[in-house]
Structure 1
Amino acid sequence: MLRISQLVKRYGNGEPVLKGLDLEVPGESVVSIIGASGAGKSTLLRCINRLVEPSSGSIELNGVEITTLRREELRRTRRRIGMIFQGFNLVDRLSVMENVQCGRLGYIPYWRAALRRYPQEDIDRAFHLMERVGIAHYADKRADELSGGERQRVGVVRALMQDPDILLADEPTASLDPVTSRQIMELLQKLAAELHLPVLINIHNVGEAREYTERIVGMRFGKLIFDGKPEDLDQDAMDAVYSGTSEDAARQHTPNSEALAT
Structure 2
Amino acid sequence: MLKISKLTKRYGSGDPVLKELDLTVEGDQLTSVIGSSGAGKSTLLRCINRLVEPTSGSIDLNGTEFTTLNRRSLRIARRRIGMVFQGFNLIDRLTVMENVQSGRLGYISTWAALTRRYPREDIRHAYELMERVGIAHYANKRADELSGGERQRVGVVRALMQRPEILLADEPTASLDPKTSEQIMSLLRDLASELKLPVIINIHNVAEAKEYSDRIVGMRYGRIIFDGLPARLGKAEMDEIYAGVPAQDRAQAGAAA
Q: With structure 1 as the length reference, what TM-score do the two structures score? A: 0.92
Does 2:123 align with 1:116?
no
Where does residue 100 of structure 2 map in the other structure? 100
- In the other structure, the counterpart of 1:52 is 52
- Paired with 1:75 and 1:155, the residues of 2 have a C-alpha distance of 19
Structure 2 residue 93 is the aligned partner of structure 1 residue 83: no
**Contact between 1:95 and 1:142, CA under 8 Å: does it hold in 2?**
yes
Tell me by how many angstroms 1:72 deviates: 2.2
Give the Å deviation of 1:126: 0.4
Q: Which amino acid aligns with 1:225?
A: I
Q: Secondary structure at the match of 2:182?
A: helix
Unaligned residue ranges in structure 2 (runs of 5+):
246-257
1:11 pairs with 2:7:
no
Query: How far apart, in 2, do the equivalents of 1:229 and 1:195 lie?
Result: 21
Q: Which residue of 2 aligns with 1:188?
A: 188
Supply the AA of the counterpart residue of 1:110: T
Provide the C-alpha distance between the structure 1 equivalents of 2:171 and 2:15, rounded to a whole number of angstroms. 24
Residue 209 of structure 1 is matched in structure 2 by 209
* 1:154 partnered with 2:154: yes
State the alpha-carbon separation in 2 of the partners of residues 236 and 47 from structure 1: 29
**AA aligned opposite 1:128:** E
Over the matched positions of the two proteins, sequence identity in percent amounts to 73
Measured in 1, the distance between the counterparts of 2:87 and 2:71 equals 27
1:167-217 deviations in Å (ceiling 9; x for gaps): 000000000000000000000000111100000000001011101001000
SS of structure 1 residue aligned to 2:111: helix
Q: Distance in 1 between matches of 2:22 and 2:223?
A: 9
- How far off its partner does 1:64 sit? 0.7
- Displacement of 1:111 in angstroms is 0.9
Q: Is the 8 A contact 1:220 1:244 kept in 2?
A: no
CA displacement at 1:71 relative to structure 2: 2.1
What is the count of residue pairs matched by the alignment? 245
- Alpha-carbon deviation of 1:244? 5.7
1:137 maps to 2:131: no
Alignment correspondent of 1:165:
165
Amino acid at match of 1:114: L
SS of residue matched to 1:79: helix
Quote the RMSD (CA, aligned, Å).
1.0
Query: Is 1:236 equivalent to 2:233 in the alignment?
Result: no
In structure 2, distance between residues paired with 1:27 and 1:12: 36
Q: Please give the alpha-carbon distance, in whole angstroms, between the structure 2 residues aligned to 1:112 and 1:202.
A: 34
C-alpha displacement at 1:28, in angstroms?
1.1
**How far has the Cα of 1:7 moved from its partner?**
0.4
The Cα offsets for residues 34-81 of structure 1, whole Å up to 9 and x where unpaired, read as 000010000000000000000000000001100001122111110110
Q: Distance in 2 between matches of 1:26 and 1:114?
A: 36
Amino acid across the alignment from 1:6: K
Contiguous gaps of at least 5 residues in structure 1? 246-262
Secondary structure, counterpart of 1:7 in structure 2: strand
1:5-33 CA-to-partner distances (Å, cap 9, x unmatched) read 00000111111110110000012111000
Structure 2 equivalent of residue 258 of structure 1: none
1: distance between equivalents of 2:197 and 2:76? 18
